[in-house]
Amino acid sequence: QESHAVGKRPHNPTDLVEEGDLLLTLNIFYPVIFQKHKDHKPYQTVLVLGSQKLTELRDSISCVSDLQIGGEFSSQPDQAPEHISKDLYKSAFFYFEGIFYNDKRYPECRDLSRTIIEWSESHDRGYGNLQSVKMEDYTFNDLSLKIGFPYVFCHQGNCEHIIIITDIRLVHHDDCLDRNLYPLLVKKHWLCTRKCFVCKMYTARWVTNKDSLAPEDPCFFCDVCFRMLHYDAEGNKLGEFLAYPYVDPGIFN
Amino acid sequence: SAVPGLQADCEELLGAFQQADTVRFERFAELWRERRFHTIFYGRIRALERNKLTKKTLELAQQYFLPPYTFQIRVGALYLLYGLYSTQLCQPKQKIRIALKDWPEIQRFQQDLIDSQHYDAAYIFRTLRLARAFHFTAMPKLLNYRTKKKIQENEFKEEFKDPSNRVNTLITNDVLEELMNIHDHYQKMKCVISADKSQPDKALSLIKDDFVVTLKDITLEHQEWQQNRMKLFQNAKETDEKSNKKEEGTMLESEGSERANALARIKYRSYSAVVEASKSRRHRQVKLESSESGTSCGKSPSRSKKNSRRPQPARRRDSLQ
């Protein structure tokens, strides 16, 4: 995997990756959004240092579900809320080898794994003793891991990503040795962006349902076309429709 | 997905080195240069493919560096790795993977080299280490999770293929010769312990005397049959494709399926005659279901009982009514 950061050295010597540190290669799969991806799930490849905390990886994972804006805004299109889901729903966990590592850095964080643990303990389901600990207390060096075995990252309550570790090795002279650049994204699947139905040029930012003015349901619009079609010069709502802010998965391309 | 020809080339070079019966690097270098082995990396121009090719080449060569290969092969593999690592076209260079579990063995190997005064090999290894040619990894092979988009099946023309003859691969000429020898020896042994030294006792006659000859004849017969079949197949292809193929079809079918055909014909004859139900039961005409049709599959059991394949004689149901 070609990396743009190959051989990079930090400006600050304290940011130098130590000799003997481990380099893990992780494939983080996107949750299935499109049916066409069912058989060949797109993934991104990330390099992470053994000495890094799990929370550092968690913060680096970019998923479109974090950017969702909840709510129907046909009556007040200018007032889409400031907060995206990432800010509202901060809970997340990793699951490795029978242990759930829950993000507990913020007061809003909840233990998402509790439901699973309770379910597992309610009957003898053969899953052994599942535990729940704090994500921020552990580094990758602390974990027991299997290479090639699927693990899980869960956030936003039900957005699940499979994580597979494909390689673990000692860090090498030719690697990027700037700590600040890790976790390092080396490979990313490019997703097709959904374009506005009207202009077919810009990425869709709105989606409408039950739209009397639209030819299909759901129908996607860019911001400009959306407003031009659905509102008059004074900003009054024309026709009947429901409108939701839309974040395209390809936004991270 | 293997690189075509890579293994063959590497094994040829290592084989030649083994033949040379030496572990001197200069001999290996001669063999390498004779073959212009560095050109193994040519042909992949794009960086991504070049990386993949180089990785696979190093991965393949690395396998010969470890047990259970002989000492000479392992030294050859070391030289091969050195050659491949040095002549690769990737920048930065692709590394040689050494798994944690293999490292102690390699250290032992290095010590062996020094102890046996194979200083050229030891020097080569040291050079690789100083060049930072190794990645020290948890697992020997790098995992690749790309599912193959297309499984490449090379479709060769049927005529190009050597007809696979399992009988001949089992009963080879060598096997037959060996059997013959054993058989003769056996006969001789029987004579030695018999009363009449010129022939074995009748009591010892436990197998057919000509069994090896018979075996040979059977395999020859099989081979001829197969060749005839191939010829028929080829002839059929050459004739007009549009013509009715039924006749040729039956010729081509193997003898095993002749029986199946005969059975099918009998069935067809017996089931094509459907007994017509009497007038009083004309709403219950027996329907002929063909076993070839796919429609009978997946029907609910109750329906299939009704449309029974067997022609049913008009049964006396009056008593039930």
Report ipTM for this prediction: 0.78
* Inter-chain CB proximity A172 and B95 less than 8 Å: yes
**To the nearest whole percent, how much of chain A has pLDDT over 90?**
41
Phi, psi (degrees; rounded to nearest 5) at A132: -130, 125
The minimum CA-CA distance between A101 and chain B, rounded to whole Å, is 24
CA distance to partner chain B, nearest, from residue A226 (Å): 39
- pLDDT at position A3 is 66
Give the minimum alpha-carbon distance from A165 to chain B in angstroms, rounded to a whole number.
9
Instruction: Look up residue B159 and give its amino acid.
Output: E
Q: Does residue A38 belong to the interface with chain B, where contact is any CB pair within 8 Å?
A: no
- Architecture of the domain made up of A13-76+83-188: Roll (3.10)
* pLDDT mean over A24-31: 90
CA distance B304 to B43: 62
**What distance in Å separates the CA atoms of residue A48 and residue A51, rounded to the nearest whole number?**
9
List, for residues A214-239, the tens digit of each pLDDT value. 889 899 999 899 989 988 888 888 88
Q: How far is residue A172's CA from residue A177's CA, in Å, rounded to a whole number?
A: 9
Sign of CA dihedral A122, A128, A134, A135: negative
Chain B CB contacts of A20 under 8 Å are none
Query: How far is the CA of B107 from the CAs of A19, B85, B120, in angstroms?
Result: 21, 20, 16
List CB contacts (< 8 A) between A167 and chain B: 137-139, 142-143
What does the longest C-alpha to C-alpha distance in chain B come to?
A: 106
Q: Do A168 and B138 touch (CB under 8 A)?
A: yes
Interface membership of A224 toward B (CB under 8 Å): no
* Cβ atoms of residues A91 and A111 within 8 Å: yes
CA distance B137 to A39: 30
Beta bridge partners of A220: A207
Residue among B52, B98, B140, B144 at smallest CA distance from A27? B144
- Residue B301: the pLDDT is 43
B143: nearest CB among A6, A166, A174? A166
Instruction: List CB contacts (< 8 A) between A43 and chain B.
Output: 145
pLDDT of residue B294: 42
What's the Rg (C-alpha) of chain A?
22
CB contact under 8 Å between B132 and A2, yes or no, is: no
Tokens of A198: 């009207």
d(CA B211, CA B223): 18
- For residue B7 the two structure tokens come to 């293994």
Q: How far apart are CA B190 and CA B197, in angstroms?
A: 9
3-class SS of residue A227: helix
- Cα B56 from Cα A36, distance rounded (Å): 30
Q: What is the pLDDT of residue A161?
A: 93
Asked whether the beta carbons of residue B137 and residue A6 sit closer than 8 angstroms, the reply is no
Q: Three-state SS for B209? A: coil
User: Three-state SS for B224?
Assistant: helix
**CB-CB under 8 Å, B137 with A172:** no
Find the chain B residues whose C-beta atoms sit closer than 8 A to any C-beta of A: 47-48, 51, 92-93, 95, 97, 132, 135-139, 142-145, 147, 149
- Which residue of chain A is at minimal alpha-carbon distance from B145? A166
Show pLDDT as tens, one digit a residue, over chain B (321 residues).
Answer: 678 888 889 999 999 998 898 999 999 999 999 999 999 998 778 888 898 899 999 999 998 998 878 888 999 999 999 999 999 998 889 999 999 999 999 999 999 999 999 999 999 999 999 999 999 999 988 887 655 555 444 444 444 445 566 777 787 778 888 888 998 898 888 888 888 877 878 888 888 888 888 888 888 888 888 888 877 877 776 665 545 555 544 455 555 677 777 787 877 777 666 555 566 666 666 665 555 444 444 444 444 444 444 454 544 444 444
- For testing contact with chain A, the best of B46, B98, B137, B141 (most A CBs within 10 A): B137
A167 and B143: CB-CB below 8 Å?
Answer: yes
CB contact under 8 A, A166 and B47: no
Name the pLDDT band for A6 (thresholds 50, 70, 90).
confident
At A136, the pLDDT band (50, 70, 90 cuts) reads very high
Distance CA B44, CA B225 (A): 47
Phi, psi angle pair for B163, to nearest 5°: -60, 130
Structural domain boundaries in chain A: 13-76+83-188, 191-252
Alpha-carbon gap: A9 to the closest alpha carbon of chain B (Å): 15
Interface mutation target, options B143, B146, B147, B151, chain A, most CBs of A under 10 Å: B143
Burial of B303 (0-12, 13-18, 19+ CB in 10 A): exposed
Q: Does A11 touch chain B (CB under 8 A)?
A: no
Residues B255 and B242: their CA atoms lie apart, in Å, by 25
Here the contacts of B178-185 (C-beta below 8 Å, separation 24 or greater) are B179/B212, B179/B215, B180/B212, B183/B211, B183/B212
Tens-place pLDDT, residues A161-190: 999 999 999 999 999 999 999 999 988 887
Tokens found for residue B9? 């080339």
